[in-house]
Amino acid sequence: MKIGSYLNRTKDKRIYYYDYGRLPGQRPAIRVLTYTKPKNQTEKNHNKQALELIDVKKSQTIIEQQSIGSAYIPPHKFKGNFLEYYAEYVDKNKTDSNRALQNSFKQFKEFVGRSFVSPVDITENLCKEFRKFLLAKFKGETPQGYYARFKWVLNAATKDKYFQVNPTDEVSAIPNPSATLKKNLEVEDQVEFLGSEQLYDRLFLF
């Protein structure tokens, strides 16, 4: 692993990059720079911290390369807050025509009620509780759609080695049948279902 650098046009700053070769795309920027002739203590401190950061990034990149093809995933590749992983997944996979994925994230945040959720907290029981939360709040196929998107996120997280076993594998996405059930029942069955003779009177009022 090599780190290369070059001077900017005014030659007052040095810009650094990863040097993997001379082909296009083999010299990605590290996004770190140093002052060639620091004018004060602030710029000197900046240079020191920038060089330390370059060393850290170099070490992380070496570990990533060495872990390719193995079961080991470098810790710095993980997000400690599962909400950040969820948000990133939504951002990469959302569509303007269907907001179910964004809404599933919104509902999950409301369900957990806190800004930090460790991947360790995502258990099968929590998944069941989230499904129950959706079924209690929404009717018809809406809770099924939101939970299905939640399962997408956990499937991706499992592939990314956040979980050894997908915690939602045995927790299916199901609809809340009450809305469609009422629609398909016969008039007499609706009266019995709702437990109200008043509905019967209203149905035949005209």
126 within a domain of the structure (yes/no) = yes
198 within a domain of the structure (yes/no) = no
Question: Average pLDDT of 52-57?
Answer: 91
The boundaries of the domain holding residue 102 are 82-181
- Per-residue pLDDT of 6-21, as tens digits, reads 999 999 999 999 888 8
The beta strands (E) that lie in the chain are given as 2-7, 13-19, 29-35
Q: What is the CATH number of the domain that holds 129?
A: 1.10.150
202 within a domain of the structure (yes/no) = no
Residues 107 and 160 in one domain: yes
Last residue of a domain, one of 67, 102, 119: 67
Mean pLDDT, all residues of the chain: 82
For residue 75, what pLDDT is reported? 60
112 within a domain of the structure (yes/no) = yes
Residues 89 and 46 in one domain: no
- Per-residue pLDDT of 131-142, as tens digits, reads 999 999 999 999
Residues 41 and 121 in one domain: no
- Give whole-number Cα distances, 148 to 134, 154, 159, 200, in Å: 11, 10, 17, 37
For the chain, percent of residues with pLDDT exceeding 70: 78
pTM of the model: 0.55
Strand partners, 16: 5
- Per-residue pLDDT of 14-48, as tens digits, reads 999 988 888 777 888 898 999 999 999 999 999 99
186 within a domain of the structure (yes/no) = no
193 within a domain of the structure (yes/no) = no
C-beta separation of 11 from 36 below 8 A: yes
